[in-house]
Structures are given as structure tokens and as C-alpha cells.
Structure 1
Amino acid sequence: MTRTTTAAAGISPRPEVQRRILTVLVASQILSGAGLAAGVTVGALLAQDMLGSTSLAGLPSALFTAGSALAAVAVGRVSQARGRRPGLAAGYLTGAVGSVGVLAAAVLDQPVLLFVALFVYGAGTATNLQARYAGADLAAPAHRGRAVSTVLVATTLGGVAGPNLAAPTGRLAETLGMPHLAGPFILAGLAYALAALVLAVWLRPDPLLLARTLAEKEAAADAAGGDAAGPADLSEGRGGVALGGLVMVLSQLVMVAIMTMTPVHMHDHGHGTAASGLVIAVHIGAMYLPSPLTGWLVDRHGRLKVAAASGLTLLASGILAALAPGDSVPLLALALALLGVGWNFGLVAGTAIITDTVPPATRARTQGLVDVAVAVAGATGGMASGIMVAATSYPALALAGGVLSLALLPVVAATARRRP
């Protein structure tokens, strides 16, 4: 069976290698998920404690995002030049260095060093997200959605464990003479370093480099048979990048905007941190846990249908969040669950669309640039949400986010009409 026939049949050209790649990626994602969640849990609290003020307590989130955007470019370029293994390993190692910097800043009580270290720490966030692309490099087109979802859902396991280890790592930090809030960054540094080690040692063969080799052999075989790619193929590739990028950018923008202001909205209606924490926990679970189902839907029913479902689910979330009484925790939790599911639909479908349409020769660089746009969209959503709620209200923000997500539908419909 030829390479082309194998792909058409929906079978990976290297199924045993793909299984090994996914196993290694899942292990690294569990570790990095713990590192990501542990640090994010106390970043704002540590800044508030060191500064003695809440005025800059929101800065850690902005620094994570800024560092993530820069790291997305760097990881993409390293992966493009040398492969996924060195790109992802370097990204996680950079996140570990940032964690060590945070510990040093906490011990020395240096807020400036803290902010610089948090910026570097953001590299772990970008790398954790970019690992999903590595899962799809060798997957057959009919299995790419499931490959992406397998990598994504693994993050949940570490993400759940990380915050629950905040208390014991805090006690460990105090034993070592560090502030209690610095404890989770001990875990973050170790987790990121171990994730880098797992990838550096076991992610062999490199999925992107092998995919590139297979694509070159297929192209040579097609050229010998007189079936070379023409300008229409390039146009389709550019359209796929634009569509996949738009799906992920809009999903991220709407999700971050509504998520950011929900705890504030609940606080204004008399809810404590336990209630808002429960709602956000439900939201985060809905962001990642449906991934296996989403991957199956993407592969079974198509990328465009799931992308459209993302817009509709985000709209339903926005409407419910806008109409839910401020004292109703169950309805707000349901709205945030729909918000997470809509984001998950958009991320998995958008990732599959881009992987389908970008050749391995330029895939990593393009994916890195798309993830920069996603990170900027998240930062924009977070900053704009506070401004809009201050000027109008939380229901207005939620409804506006839901309506904005509808922009996906005409784009998806137009793309569906152009494709056979």
C-alpha cells in the first residue's frame, strides 16, 4: 500500500510510532499541566503579598500572556528548524528557569525580579499549548482531531493535581526558608524540568521531522507520476490558516473576556471565593475534559461543523450568563461550562484545520504565529472585559461576547460552499 493510499484510508503511515509519540506527549503534558496550574494558582497572591497592594495583583496574568506570546514564536521557530523535540523541550526548560526566578524573587523580596521571572515563566504556558500540534504531525487526516484531543485532555490530569498540591508545597517552602506562597513554584519548576527531560529523551523519532520526510517522499512520488501541487493547493492552504486561526482567536477572546469577569460579578453579588472557585473549576474542567469527544466529532463529522458548533455554544453561554440571576451559582456554573465547551470545540477544530492545510515544511512556524494571535486575543479579551463591565455591566459583556462568536458562522458557511 502506498503512502497516498494509506493516508486516504485514514491510517497513519507509522501507527506504532504515532502511538509512542502520543504516549510521550501525554506524560509530558501531565507534568507540565501540574507546573502550569500550580504557578497560576498563586501568582497574583504572591504579587499582592510582596507589594502589599492589590493595584498590580493582576499583572502576573498579563505577564504570563506576554511571555506566552513571545515563547510561541520562539518554540515555533526552533521546532521549524530542528524539530518538535528540541522546540518543546527548550520551551519547558525556559518555564522551569522562570519558576526558579520566582523563587529567588520571593526569597530576596524583589518585586521587579518577580515580574521578569513571571514573564519567563509564561514560556511553559505556550509550550503546553503548542504540544497539541506535535500530536497531530503523524496522525492520518481521519484521526487528527482525536490525536489533538488526547494531548489536550492529558493537561487536565496535571491541572487538577497542581492546585491541590499548593498547601503541601507551601509547607515545604516554609521548611526551606521561603515564603509559603512560593511553594507551588517549587512544583512548577520541577514539573517543567521533568517535562523537558521526558521530551528530550523519549520523543524519538521527532514527529515533525518524520512527517516532513514522509511528505517529501510523497511529493517526489506525485511529481514522478505527473500529479504536482498547483496554485489552487496554495490558495486552499492560506484559506485554511485564516479560518483555523479565526476560529481559535474568536474562541479565546470570548472565553477569556467572560471568564475573567465572572468572579468579579459573583463577588459583587455577595458570593465568596469558594463559590467563584467552584464555578471557575467547572469552567476549566469543561475546557479540557470534553476533548476526546470533541476529537471524535471533528474526525467523524468534519472540522467545519464543529467550528460552527463552537460559535453556537459560545452564544448560548453568553446568553445564559447575561440572563442568569447574580445569586444563582448553578446557572453561572452552567454558563461557564458551556463557555469551556465552546472554547474546546474551537481549539480542536481550529488546530485540525491548520494541520490539514499547512505542509510540514512550514508547519511549525505557522502554528507558532497562530498561537501568538491566540495569546494576544486572550490578553485583549482580559483587558477589554474589565473596561466594558465598568462602562456597562457584566450581562452586557456576556451578551456581546456571545454575539461576537456568531462571526464564525458566515465564515464557516462560505468555506463550506467553496469546498467540494
Structure 2
Amino acid sequence: MTNAAPAARPGLISDPARAQRRILHVLVASQIFSGAGLAAGVTVGALLAQDMLGSTSLAGLPSALFTAGSALAAVAVGRVSQARGRRPGLAAGYLTGAIGSAGVIVAAVLDNPVLLFLALFVYGAGTATNLQARYAGADLAAPGHRARAVSTVLVATTLGGVAGPNLAAPTGTLAEHLGIPNLAGPFILSGLAYALAALVLALWLRPDPLLLARSLAQAKQDGTATAPASSDEGSGGVVLGALVMILTQLVMVAIMTMTPVHMHDHGHGTAASGLVIAIHIGAMYLPSPLTGWLVDRYGRMKIAAASGITLLAAGILAALAPGDSVGLLALALALLGLGWNLGLVSGTAIITDTVPLATRAKTQGLVDVSIAIAGATGGMASGIMVAATSYPALALTGGILSLALLPAVAAAAYRR
């Protein structure tokens, strides 16, 4: 394969550590942009749909749609990465997200809900790509440092992820000056951010981490004439890693999606909800270096169990927090983000440990499809449940559901 040739250059193979440092720097830069693109849409997507449709029951639909779109994109990005490397797969995913952002703006101008939902589906490609980038950080990492490599990529999302929601009000004002509805303003930022992330990766993600990792593995195999050792966890590791990330995604998306709507119903504006979502996204990514160290130091299983307990605490606090208390809701959403982070880093490490390089990108893409479907389910069901019951009922149900991680982790530890 012609595009694999750069990864096989002797100079790069002799110094993979230098290549890994360069790759992490490029991934960090792209994640800063993509974090802004991801967060901006999350902040106002539900409010935009509610404003167009005049119904709270469908306010979870935008989250469900762009999460469902991310499921399709996860397959596509995984397959392109498997065939041609991480660089073309990730760059194409972010460019698709930018196109979806532009579609949302057009839909808002035309006041067309059908176009809005279609555009949000396409916009979901940015979410999938943002998550897939974490695997690129681990391709060249040593087994004992994989979680820390994943966390380095994730923490970079914090800068853009925190800035994005706090720019909801200013970008809304800018949109009004341009003749665009206020709530579509953050998608201007989102489209620009995703396009810049795609550009950074297309130009500078060289050598390609997955192609170089394959070349290194092949060179090692040729030198030793020994077949690579297979993982002792087998398919059980894939199932466990996927389950950890699926449950944390389901609970996180469900509660996060309806929090801005819950706050809006209690008289808070986009600035207050943007602040809470910014804190939430900061908690999703900022603890990543510590989480990565904990996962590498104390093991994947213990941190996966800790994620379930943290999500339970988040659900209970969100359920008990008064609707007019921005502080308590922010704390609940911070715990929600932390629980998600613990689950994502530990689950990603389990998957990467288990899957061989020959099928790694394809399997990772399929796992992320399951995660995206879980997020879509949580986003869609959240609006329906809040309309039928209440936000506190949703939060408490999500917290209790997260406890299912504990017996799964205990069973896996017992088998080992």
C-alpha cells in the first residue's frame, strides 16, 4: 500500500518515541479545535429543536440524531483508518462535522426542522471523530503507558470544550447581526473549529501512527521470526471494555442533554446553561492525565468500577439539586463528566490491550458504534422521560443504571 511507505522509513522505525511525541502534539492541537466544535453544538442543540418545534418531549432528539450520526461515522472512520491510516480517517470525519454545522445554520435560517435533523445527523461525525482520535494516541504507546497516551489526547479537548459553551452567548449575538437565529450562532464556531481540526490533521499527522505501529510490529516479527503473542483476555476484554463505555455514555448523554432544558424551564439563560455545560465538559476531559495514570498504575478494572460509583453520585445530586441552583447543578454535571472520563479511559485501555494491530482500527470503530447508539438512546429517551416524569427522575434513574458496571467488572476480575 503506497500510503504505508512513509511509516516504514528506517529513520522513523529507529526512533518511534520521537514519532510518538510528534503525533501527540498534532493530536493535541486538533483536539483543541474539535473540542470547541463538539461543545458548541451540545450547548444549544436541544434548545434549538425546542424553539422550532415548541415541544419539550422532542428536545432530546437533536442529541439522539447527532449521536446516531456519530455511530455511522464511527464505522466509516474506523474502516478508512484500517485501510489507509488514522490521518485520512480522522480528517474526513472532522470535515463531515463541519459540513453538518453549516447545514444546521441553513436549517435555522429557513426554519426547517427536517433539514435541522438531517444536518444534526451529519454533524455527529465530529463527535465520533473526536472520540476516535484517542485511539490514535495509543497506537505507538507501550502497554504500560497506553492509558496515559489516551488521556493526553482527551485532555486537549478541554480547552476548546470549555471555551465553546461560554461562547454561546457571543456567537448568538454575532449570528443575529448576520441575520441568523441566535441559537444557531454556536454552530458558526462549531463549523470553523471542525474545519481547522481537519486541516491540522491532514497537513501534519505524519508519520501516521497506525501505519507506523504496523511497520514496527512487522519489523519486530521479521527480526525474531516469532508470531506476536495474542491477548489473554480475548473477546471477553472487548465485551467488557465496550460495556464500560456504553453504560457511561448512555447515562452521561441522557442527563447532560436535558440539563440545559431543565435550567431553561427554571428561568436560566444560555449563559448560565453554557457555564454548567462548560464545567461538565471540563470534567469530562480535564482529569484525563490523572485518570490515565490511575488506570496504568492500579489497573483497568478498579477505575472502571469507580466510574459507576461516580455516576451514581452525579445522578443523585442532580436529582436533589433545586432547579434554581446553578452551583449544585454544575457540581452534579462535573461528577457526571468525571464518571464518564473514568469509564472512557479505562474502557479504551481494555479495548486497546485486547485487539491486535491487524484489526485494531476496524474493531475500535465498531465499539464506538455501540457507544454512539447508547448515546443516541440516552438522548432520545431523556426528553421523553422528562416530559412523562421529571428531570430528577431521569437523573436518579441514570445514576442507578450506572451501578450495573460493578457486577460486570467483578465478574471479569473473577474470570481473570
User: TM-score, normalised to structure 2's length?
Assistant: 0.86
Which of residues 81, 103, 120 is equivalent to 1:118?
Answer: 120
> Which residue of structure 2 aligns with residue 3 of structure 1?
none
Structure number with larger C-alpha Rg: 1
| TM-aligned CA deviation for residue 59 of structure 1 | 3.3
8 Å Cα contact 1:76-1:369 kept in structure 2: yes
8 Å Cα contact 2:33-2:197 kept in structure 1: yes
CA distance 1:52–1:112, change in 2 (3 Å): closer
> Which residue of structure 1 aligns with residue 29 of structure 2?
27
- Residue 248 in structure 1 maps to residue 260 in structure 2: no
Which of residues 229, 234, 237 is equivalent to 2:234?
Answer: 237
| TM-aligned CA deviation for residue 37 of structure 1 | 2.2
Higher relative contact order (CA 8 A, sep 6+): 2
Q: Which stretch of the first structure deviates more once superposed, 40-49 or 111-120?
A: 40-49
- Residue 411 in structure 1 maps to residue 408 in structure 2: yes
Q: Percent identity?
A: 83
Which of residues 277, 296, 299 is equivalent to 1:299?
Answer: 296
**What whole-Å deviation, never above 9, does each CA across 1:128-169 have from its counterpart, x for those lacking one?**
111111111111111111111111111111122223444554
Q: Secondary structure at the match of 1:406?
A: helix
CA distance 1:167–1:26, change in 2 (3 Å): same
Which of residues 352, 357, 360 is equivalent to 1:360?
Answer: 357
8 Å Cα contact 2:279-2:333 kept in structure 1: yes
Q: How do 1:380-391 and structure 2 match up within 5 A?
A: 380-390=377-387
- Residue 399 in structure 1 maps to residue 396 in structure 2: yes
| TM-aligned CA deviation for residue 170 of structure 1 | 4.4
8 Å Cα contact 1:173-1:182 kept in structure 2: yes
Return the alpha-carbon distance in structure 2 between the equivalents of residues 407 and 383 of structure 1.
21
| TM-aligned CA deviation for residue 211 of structure 1 | 1.1
RMSD of aligned residue pairs (Cα, Å): 2.8
Q: Which stretch of the first structure deviates more once superposed, 380-389 or 140-149?
A: 380-389
- Residue 345 in structure 1 maps to residue 346 in structure 2: no
Return the alpha-carbon distance in structure 2 between the equivalents of residues 311 and 96 of structure 1.
33
Return the alpha-carbon distance in structure 1 between the equivalents of residues 309 and 125 of structure 2.
32
| TM-aligned CA deviation for residue 110 of structure 1 | 4.1
Q: Which stretch of the first structure deviates more once superposed, 253-262 or 137-146?
A: 253-262
Q: Secondary structure at the match of 2:192?
A: helix
> Which residue of structure 1 aligns with residue 279 of structure 2?
282
Return the alpha-carbon distance in structure 2 between the equivalents of residues 341 and 297 of structure 1.
13
| TM-aligned CA deviation for residue 201 of structure 1 | 1.1
Return the alpha-carbon distance in structure 1 between the equivalents of residues 383 and 398 of structure 2.
13
Return the alpha-carbon distance in structure 2 between the equivalents of residues 141 and 118 of structure 1.
37
Give ranges in structure 2 of 5+ residues lacking alignment.
1-13
Q: Secondary structure at the match of 1:204?
A: coil
Aligned length: 401
**What whole-Å deviation, never above 9, does each CA across 1:319-350 have from its counterpart, x for those lacking one?**
33444555655444333322211111000110
> Which residue of structure 2 aligns with residue 206 of structure 1?
208
Return the alpha-carbon distance in structure 1 between the equivalents of residues 50 and 321 of structure 2.
31
> Which residue of structure 1 aligns with residue 85 of structure 2?
83
Return the alpha-carbon distance in structure 2 between the equivalents of residues 158 and 252 of structure 1.
20
**What whole-Å deviation, never above 9, does each CA across 1:285-306 have from its counterpart, x for those lacking one?**
2111111111111111111111
User: TM-score, normalised to structure 1's length?
Assistant: 0.86
Q: How do 1:99-178 and structure 2 match up within 5 A?
A: 99-170=101-172, 172-174=174-176, 176-178=178-180
8 Å Cα contact 1:13-1:138 kept in structure 2: no
Letter in 2 for 1:416: A
Give ranges in structure 1 of 5+ residues lacking alignment.
1-11
Letter in 2 for 1:356: D
